[in-house]
Amino acid sequence: MRKLSRIAFLVLGSIMAVDHVSYALATFTFSTGNPNGLIGTASRPENIGQIEIESADDFILVSQTTIDHATFTGLLPSGALLTSVQRVVVEIYRVFPLDSTTPPSGHVPTRTNSPSDIAFDSRDSAVPNLTFTSSVLTSSFAVLNSVVNGINPIPNQTTGGEGPVTGEEVRFDVNFTTPFSLAAGHYFFIPQVGLSSGTFLWLSAPKPIVAPGTPFSPDLQSWIRNMNLAPDWLRIGTDIVGGSVPPTFNGTFSLSGTAAVTPTDTPTNTPTNTPTNTPTNTPAGVATNTPTNPPTNTPTNTPTNTPTNTPAPVPVVPTLDERGMLIFGLLVAGAGLLLLISRR
């Protein structure tokens, strides 16, 4: 019986700890909107005869978030079949200088606000920890500019781009069978598509973001690198396209999942139950018997040492918030565990 009591004591403490970790989950969605046809940039995993190229665009999370689905839109070569898609990779990078060597190499104009040197997390259809479907949105979609091969260190970083391209506009819907679990912070999203022939181009989206996208601040411009430039990155608009007023771009993508929301314990709209227009219930025309000139010689006869009848102080009972209850529950559980060990 004594042993069972100790076990019950331990279990009770554990339940108290778990019960007071209260949180709620809210639906998380984010989108940069629809393609604007300004540029398409290469983004592919390494393949036979092809070096890896990564195009990146950023997003912000305001709380712990689980991402289980994403979409992105890009160009396949004209006439390519969807069966030519061999592999899809999604990478998440943090913002430099996280996960990076500092100071940077100096091979690019700047690393400020770039993706970090190495990926923070990734999912790959070849593993597989993601699944995907693809659908053709437009059989012929044109972009005004492109970046595929012209990804160079300084002083040859500004090429102006590689000119217009026309291809099949394809949307990829990706389900992460192992979802991303990300803390609040600033991240970069990098989709890569491996084709049996040719190169996938990720389509740009408006910057700043417009409807139906989800604006946020600061919204950084998109970046790119290939295996030869790594671990550094170049800004697609400012560094590669260039010009007297360099353009800036976003990539076309969306994310969805669930975000943790901590509820507050204090209600924000507590009714006061105080009527604002209390009726006097005085019938019309009935005298109130209130003298208009009350006597001024009211005897005072007030004792000089009248007790004030001040109530005794009310003891303040301390209360525990959710964090306190968690700690208390863990302490109780720990004490129960120690008791079990010491009596063996």
Q: Please determine, for residue 121, whether its predicted confidence score (pLDDT) is greater than 60.
A: yes
Q: Please determine, for residue 253, whether its predicted confidence score (pLDDT) is greater than 60.
A: yes
Region 93-122 average pLDDT: 98
Region 241-263 average pLDDT: 95
Token representation of residue 302 = 């007030």
Q: Please determine, for residue 318, whether its predicted confidence score (pLDDT) is greater than 50.
A: no
Query: How many structural domains comprise the chain?
Result: 2
Residue where a domain stops, chosen among 261, 295, 315? 261
| Distance from the first to the final alpha carbon of the chain | 14
236 shares a domain with 335: no
58 shares a domain with 8: no
Question: Which pLDDT belongs to residue 177?
Answer: 98
164 shares a domain with 40: yes
Q: Please determine, for residue 1, whether its predicted confidence score (pLDDT) is greater than 60.
A: no
229 shares a domain with 169: yes
Query: What's the Cα-to-Cα distance from 91 to each of 59, 87, 236, 256, rounded to whole Å?
Result: 13, 13, 18, 15
155 shares a domain with 8: no
Of residues 319 and 131, more confidence is placed in: 131
CA 58 to chain CA mean position, Å:
11
User: How confident is residue 163, by pLDDT bands cut at 50, 70 and 90?
Assistant: very high
Single out the residue of 315, 313, 316, 332 nearest to residue 324, CA to CA: 332
Tokens 């970090």 locate to: 116
Q: Please determine, for residue 283, whether its predicted confidence score (pLDDT) is greater than 50.
A: no
Residues whose CB is less than 8 angstroms from the CB of residue 166 and which lie 6 or more positions away in sequence, other chains included: 78, 140, 141, 142, 143
Of residues 274 and 86, more confidence is placed in: 86
Question: Which pLDDT belongs to residue 328?
Answer: 56
Angle at 191 between CA 188 and CA 192, to 5 degrees: 135
Confirm whether 12 is domain-assigned.
yes
Single out the residue of 78, 70, 49 nearest to residue 194, CA to CA: 49
Single out the residue of 179, 216, 218 nearest to residue 95, CA to CA: 218
Q: Please determine, for residue 270, whether its predicted confidence score (pLDDT) is greater than 50.
A: no
227 shares a domain with 157: yes
Token representation of residue 255 = 């994310």
Confirm whether 300 is domain-assigned.
no
CA-CA distance, 87 to 50, in Å (whole number)? 14
CA-CA distance, 97 to 88, in Å (whole number)? 27
162 shares a domain with 102: yes
The rounded percent of the chain whose pLDDT value lies above 90 is 69
Domain that holds residue 342: 1-22+328-344
Confirm whether 272 is domain-assigned.
no
110 shares a domain with 6: no
59 shares a domain with 2: no
Confirm whether 62 is domain-assigned.
yes
User: How confident is residue 329, by pLDDT bands cut at 50, 70 and 90?
Assistant: low
Per-residue model confidence as pLDDT tens digits over 185-216: 999 999 999 999 999 999 999 999 999 999 99
Tokens 């679990």 locate to: 181
Confirm whether 1 is domain-assigned.
yes
Single out the residue of 239, 254, 255 nearest to residue 41, CA to CA: 239
Q: Please determine, for residue 29, whether its predicted confidence score (pLDDT) is greater than 90.
A: yes
User: How confident is residue 333, by pLDDT bands cut at 50, 70 and 90?
Assistant: low
135 shares a domain with 71: yes
Per-residue model confidence as pLDDT tens digits over 50-72: 999 999 999 999 999 999 999 99
Confirm whether 279 is domain-assigned.
no
What is the DSSP pairing of strand 146-147 with strand 185-195?
unpaired
Confirm whether 35 is domain-assigned.
yes
Question: Which pLDDT belongs to residue 26?
Answer: 96
Indicate the pTM of the whole model. Answer: 0.73
Confirm whether 311 is domain-assigned.
no
Residue where a domain stops, chosen among 245, 261, 277? 261
78 shares a domain with 61: yes
Residue where a domain stops, chosen among 239, 261, 283? 261
Handedness of CA 336, 338, 343, 344 (dihedral sign): positive
149 shares a domain with 172: yes
Single out the residue of 250, 242, 246, 54 nearest to residue 148, CA to CA: 54
